[in-house]
Amino acid sequence: MATNTIRLHRVLRTSPDRLYRAFVEPRAFERWLPPFGFTGQVHSMEPVVGGTWRMSFTNFGTGHSHSFGGKYLELAPGQRIAYDATFDDPNLPGTMKTTVTLTPVSCGTEMSVVQEGVPDVIPAEMCYLGWQESLVALAQLVEPNIPG
């Protein structure tokens, strides 16, 4: 089975700890991860190494959903997150691995995302587009510093 690897890089005006929380708090994860036009629901999340997570995306226009989940492979608060994911749909075979590295920089946090094992039936450009949209929503969640 052929797969793709997706690599993304962003600098966000926030702390590494705040970015880390966006990946391990269910309400935050379902808020920013779905690409535009989708809603997300976290069904379970146990953010410990070896713990599992499960969620679904629903197309707002059609109502069709797809679900996926996996386990946490590495968790270093404020530094690194690695998890795998498998789609429930047999037409999307294989297991993907996502690794997120967070590095403090003078204006916030440098974030590197590598997603390996993306099924070849998902065009790489569609995966990049989805991630770009997700990262816009992530910035909107973590960058505002609202007092109170």
- Dist CA 29 CA 60 (whole Å): 18
DSSP 61-115: TT--EEEEEEEEEEEETTTEEEEEEEESSTTS-S-EEEEEEEEEETTEEEEEEEE
Does residue 148 belong to any structural domain of this protein? no
**To the nearest whole percent, how much of the chain has pLDDT over 90?**
89
Does residue 18 belong to any structural domain of this protein? yes
CATH code for position 127: 3.30.530.20
Q: Which residue type, as a one-letter code, is found at position 66?
A: H
Does residue 138 belong to any structural domain of this protein? yes
Q: How far is CA 58 from the centre of its chain?
A: 16
Does residue 87 belong to any structural domain of this protein? yes
Does residue 122 belong to any structural domain of this protein? yes
Residue 76 vs residues 93, 95, 122: alpha-carbon distances, Å: 29, 22, 30
pLDDT tens digits along 60-110: 999 999 999 999 999 999 999 999 999 999 988 899 999 999 999 999 999
pLDDT tops 90 at residue 148: no
21-30 — which CB contacts under 8 Å span 24+ positions?
A: 22/138, 22/141, 22/142, 23/47, 23/81, 23/100, 24/75, 24/81, 28/141, 29/55, 30/55
**Residue ranges making up the domain that contains 62:** 3-142
pTM of the model: 0.94
Does residue 147 belong to any structural domain of this protein? no
The tally of domains found in the chain comes to: 1
Q: Are 34 and 21 in contact (CB under 8 A)?
A: no
Does residue 13 belong to any structural domain of this protein? yes
